[in-house]
Amino acid sequence: MLTHEPSILGAILTIAKLIMCEVDDGKQEAFSQSQSAWSQLSTCNGFVGQTGGWEASSSTAIILGFWESQFHVSEFMRTIHDDIYLSNKQQSTYRHCSVNYFELVSTISDLQINFSGAGVLRIAYCSRVLDIDRFNRDQQLIWNPQLPTQLGCLGGHVWRHVKHHDCYLVVTHWESPEAHEIYANNVLPKLREIARPSEYIEQLLGKVVVLDIKWNVKPNNG
């Protein structure tokens, strides 16, 4: 349930599209160049913004796109998506790609995250949450109050998979790798001791994404 309607770049958002691509060795630069072709998203109805970068110490590209509604995403997929995808030849640069959609559950702070900048995203991918009530309670009582107090934390959101309702995504935005590292080394272990997420989450994957500003796409509202 939404706590309030947050915004990125001044627009209401309800849907996040998570794309993860395992890029072939030696083709990272080609993938990155092809990613710039997605700037055409800027003119799509309901588009809020897109950002992404490389998972730290790997050749996995992670992109997050934000939309006002599932209707707008579906409209984009029906119309110009395939033309962009085929023209930029990005499919020849990776060996595997997964796409998942999530709906907004809550915000982690009152800050409006501007995903048009640089920095780092921390993504906690929570699969097979066995106790959803406890997950939501811990998020509101343990994680959400602590994160905004951390130096360099710009805010974040909690998302739920649109089809698999026991799968959640927690995304936080950090102003620099150094700020995130301080949190990960000094604060995160203590919060895990309190929340004990392993007791009710079967699979918890943490991903750190170093954002590439060349991959950012802002909506063109003009």
Predicted confidence at residue 11, as pLDDT, reads: 52
| Ranges under pLDDT 70 in the chain | 1-12, 110-116, 221-222
Q: Is residue 221 part of a domain?
A: no
Asked whether residue 30 is assigned to any structural domain, the reply reads yes
Q: 44: burial class by Cβ within 10 Å (0-12, 13-18, 19+)?
A: buried
- Say how many domains are in the chain: 1
- HSE at residue 8, side-chain half, CA atoms within 13 A, is 31
Structural domain containing residue 132 = 7-215
Q: Could you tell me the CATH number of the domain that includes residue 163? A: 3.30.70.100
HSE-CB at 43 with a 13 A cutoff on CA atoms is: 6
Q: Tell me the C-alpha distance between 76 and 79, whole Å.
A: 5
Q: Give dist(CA 198, CA 201) in Å, integer.
A: 5
